[in-house]
Chains A and B, each alone.
Chain A
């Protein structure tokens, strides 16, 4: 039978009813978001897993269809197809940037994973990590041990061992300071604090494995006239938990952080980890159903900024004489949670462009994920590696000696990939580059006898 337009009944199924998903589940409650999908397929070419695996089930359009089938009851939430393909999603949200209809894919993914938890628990490795991050003291202890291990150079040696273990070692090795000691922040920043009170999110991995970068963050903020305030009582932002579907723990952590930042009495919260920044900016949505916290969460979310946003707002400082002798060739790789989730693209570009001694080189397909995606690289190593391989190839092709990216997971993922591939390029946080430039300018002003900046590339 054929007739024009005859099949105008809802092509993708019937409204959730008998046999459909329980109305109280997170996915059922989020289902309105599914209606915005017009099936256009623009998301396919933006999705790293589709490009790597070439199966539409591993594309946003396909995953949305699986979600719709679960909502309608034509597929069970515990169907292997649902589990496999939803697990494979990186959560990079590049599809949201490509989508002309504004489908809230990130929210739908979290809701789906939360709904799946009952029948599809998080893998043991993931559970262990989430447990670790939820406890302040145990996390600090473990990360301190990791720092000690890193100093022994054993991780660097073991980084080439094949398999997940070797990759993990390479990630740890890559988390070390990218710039050498001479280039780092030996100066006292001078600023008048007129831009307002700012608290920095200490973070978990940032504080544990990238303390230098946290210090650089503070220095550069002070140097740009922000008044730094400590916010005590901070916890993990809860991103890993929310992305894995453990919304209860995520909310618990969110409430603690909201209270902590309220106590600090600030007008802005600076975050140097894109994944955490995206999470805190969504606290309003996370706590929307809790009348005691909804408004407070909104307020905190509204004052959260990526470090580059605050730096860009301050504008470039009048030209510090750059050591133009050896410009670093830097490629900027935007973290997914900065570019797609937070939609912050201009600020990091502006900051990098204003740093003297940097030559920005274009990076092909920079908007594609690196494959880190929180703990994804540990629980989905095959797909993660495939996605990373494309990223490393583009970096190698760009001729850059440095890859600047503002997220610890990406720094470690890309850093590990570069090491394991035998490339000489290194991953570095943009704020470290700025800090190094201030440091160099300071030395010039002092007239000190400066060691040359190591050749950029």
Chain B
């Protein structure tokens, strides 16, 4: 491993971004040691913040010249520890926040990686357009980060994830080469290898996006939102399956369990959810106004047929906001209750929901921890949250065991280890649960195509020992 001349590197970087764009003191680097997950602290050696595309390219070239590994960071709201690394240079992309172009007739926008997700939708709103992938952190997270993690959100059930909305990326690779992936604004069919598809979700390990071309959606003609409460989680899970099987594809289908509901209702965000419910189901349908009330009615009937106690339907924006309030504030409400919080991101086949939830309850009881489940019921993406006191070593250990068992249960049920948060650091240890050595090696091979020296966001996604050299190259 090449020794890096840090002093020389710092000088080169400062020459590019100016003194305001470079941080080197530990006290000022502290805020960049964590992302949205408070459990990891990784100290970068330097943090550099290019303000323009040209500066970003020059920064990458300077890093290449010095052989320095680096990690890109957007808003630092990720939940897999992806934007952190010890002793490497952190490259912040938050200053590249210009919307470069917005074409309302073709519903396409080109943005810099630091553009905040919600800011893009706000900019598109005057044209009756919006950017569909809506992770819960959309008020703060960046498009670049969304691309890196292939972010989802409640409305990805109907509209798809980031992958389905990105038309092109211009990226700078770790050696400074600039590549254009995907058809971008040309609107042509994609041809050749889907390198764009490989780049989306590569967690910042393949290249740094200089700009992202996205497609925007027309705001739906009408929306109906329903909230149903159930006395049994199983009933809610079965209702979910029945709704999907009915031929309706809801725009969103979210579920919260009893402990979550009570945490929300006890907080300042109380949304009027019945505190004695075992589960609430939040369903939303949107699209053409014709026939929408019929679909909403069908969902209502299905919920009641599966034991829902009450079903509320909202049709105006204020009412709709009220119904969503509890779901959006759930994570924050749990944060008020305990000093620390861990969250999983497993996905399971929908039909396994009742069985897996029962097993999670059993695991929680056995380890004496409280698991609050918030999840995208429509696609089986679970977010079990455990609040605890991290200063209590015993409790921390129990929480760790519970989390590992929960993941095991989800994988055994035919699921996967991460649906939208990414592997990053946090789920490295689970990769071997779902991928064989040959599969992991193939992923390594792909990564090495983009970043042969493995300097870009090292130590993420694939456990290092899986990246064995592929020896049987042709001589």
Contact, chains A and B (beta carbon distance below 8 A): yes
| Cβ–Cβ < 8 Å partners of B430 in chain A | 4
Inside 8 A of A4's CB, which chain B residues have their CB?
403-404, 407, 426-430
A218 at the interface (CB under 8 A from B): no
- Residues of chain A within 8 A (CB-CB) of B219 are none
Determine if B403 and A5 form an interchain contact, defined as CB atoms under 8 angstroms apart: yes
- Contact, CB under 8 Å: A100 / B331: yes
Complex CA gap A6/B393 in Å reads 12
Confirm or deny: A14 has a beta carbon within 8 angstroms of a beta carbon on chain B.
Answer: yes
A40 to B39, CA, bound (A): 13
Question: How far is it, in angstroms, between the C-alpha of A59 and the C-alpha of B118 when the chains are bound?
Answer: 18
Nearest residue (CB) in A for B37 is A39
Q: Which residues of B contact A314 (CB under 8 A)?
A: none
Is the pair B27, A38 in contact by a Cβ cutoff of 8 Å? Answer: no
Task: Specify the chain B residue showing the minimal Cβ separation from A46.
Answer: B139
Question: Are A11 and B34 also in contact (CB < 8 A) when A4-B407, A37-B335, A81-B25 are?
Answer: yes
If A5-B404, A56-B32 touch, whether A44 touches B328 (CB-CB below 8 Å) is: no
The size bracket of the interface on A is 35 or more
Give B35's nearest chain A residue, CB to CB: A39
Nearest-neighbour CB distance to chain B for A150, whole angstroms, equals 38
CB B408 to nearest CB in A, in angstroms, measures 10
B51 contact set on A, CB distance < 8 A: 54
Q: Is the CB of A102 within 8 A of B404?
A: no
Given A11-B38, A44-B140, A82-B27, CB of A38 within 8 Å of CB of B463: no
Q: Are B328 and A100 in contact (CB under 8 A)?
A: yes
Closest residue of B by beta carbon distance from A15: B391
Do A2 and B428 have beta carbons less than 8 Å apart?
yes
A42/B34 in contact, CB under 8 A: no
Other-chain residue from B335, B396, B428 in contact with A36 (beta carbon distance below 8 A)? B335
Given A8-B39, A41-B36, A57-B28, also A36-B140 (CB < 8 A): no
B331 x A66 contact (CB < 8 A): no
Enumerate chain B residues within 8 angstroms of A158, measured Cβ to Cβ.
Answer: none
Chain A residues with CB under 8 A of B359:
none
Q: Mark B226-244, 1 if CB is under 8 A from A, else 0.
A: 0000000000000000000
| A66 to B27 Cα, complex, angstroms | 8
The answer to whether A65 touches B332 (Cβ under 8 A) is: no
The contact of A100 among B40, B141, B332, B393, by CB within 8 Å, is B332
| Contact between A10 and B140, CB atoms less than 8 A apart | no
Question: In the complex, are the beta carbons of B396 and A9 less than 8 A apart?
Answer: yes
Instruction: Report whether A66 and B49 are in contact in the complex, using a CB–CB cutoff of 8 Å.
Output: no
Q: Known interface pairs A3-B428, A36-B335, A40-B332. Does A54 touch B94 (Cβ–Cβ under 8 Å)?
A: yes
Q: Are B31's CB and A56's CB within 8 A?
A: yes
| Nearest residue, chain B, Cβ from A59 | B31
- Known interface pairs A3-B428, A4-B404; A12-B27 also in contact (CB < 8 Å): no
CA distance in complex: A69, B34 (Å): 13
Beta-carbon contacts under 8 Å, A48-63 to B: 54-57, 59, 61-62
Complex interface: chain B residues within 8 A of A192 (CB): none
**Contact in complex: A12, B400 (CB < 8 Å):** no
Q: Known: A40-B77, A40-B331. Is A11-B39 also a contact (CB below 8 A)?
A: yes
A7 at the interface (CB under 8 A from B): yes
Interface string of B39-73 (1 = CB under 8 A from A): 11100000001010000000000000000000000
Q: Is the CB of B49 within 8 A of A54?
A: yes
Complex Cα gap A10–B428 (Å): 20
- With A100-B335, A102-B267 already in contact, the answer to whether A2 and B425 are too (CB < 8 A) is yes
A2 and B49 within 8 A (CB): no
**Which residue of chain B is the closest to A76 with respect to CB atoms?**
B27
B14 to chain A, nearest CB (A): 15
Of the candidates A3, A61, A74, A102, the one whose C-beta lies within 8 Å of that of B332 is A102
B406-428 toward A: CB 8 Å interface, digit per residue (1/0)?
A: 01000000000000000001111
Q: How far is the CA of A69 from the CA of B28 in the complex (A)?
A: 11
The stretch of B150-158, B337-345, B373-381 in contact with A is: B337-345
> A7 to chain B: which residues have CB within 8 Å?
39-41
Q: When the two chains form their complex, are residues B36 and A14 in contact, meaning their CB atoms are under 8 A apart?
A: no
- A101 CB within 8 Å of chain B: yes
Say whether B390 faces chain A, with CB atoms less than 8 Å apart: yes
Contact call A38/B139, Cβ cutoff below 8 A: no
Contacts of A9 in B (CB 8 A): 39, 390, 393, 396
Kindly list chain B residues whose C-beta atoms are within 8 Å of the C-beta of A43.
140
Q: How far is B49's CA from A61's CA once the two chains are assembled, in angstroms?
A: 18
Give the CA-CA distance A202 to B118 in the complex, in Å. 42
B95 contacts the other chain (Cβ, under 8 Å)? yes
Bound complex: CA A5 to CA B336 (Å): 21
Residues of B within 8 A of A99 (CB): 332
Contacting residue for B34 out of A2, A39, A44, A101, CB 8 A: A39
Q: Does A346 contact B (CB under 8 A)?
A: no
Query: Given A35-B339, A38-B331, A54-B94, are A102 and B31 neighbors across the interface (CB < 8 Å)?
Result: no
Name B77-116 residues within 8 Å CB distance of A: 77, 94-95, 116
Asked if residues B77 and A8 are in contact (CB atoms below 8 Å), the reply is no
**Contacts from B to A (Cβ < 8 Å):** 23, 25, 27-28, 30-32, 34-41, 49, 51, 75-77, 94-95, 116, 118-119, 137, 139-141, 267-269, 328-329, 331-336, 339-342, 388, 390-391, 393, 396-397, 399-400, 403-404, 407, 425-430, 459, 463
- Identify 8 residue pairs between A and B in the complex whose beta-carbon atoms are under 8 Å apart, listed by A's number: A4-B404, A6-B429, A39-B34, A41-B77, A41-B141, A69-B27, A81-B27, A100-B333
Other A-B contacts than A2-B463, A41-B36, A66-B30, 5 sampled, CB-CB below 8 A, are: A4-B428, A8-B39, A10-B390, A39-B34, A80-B27
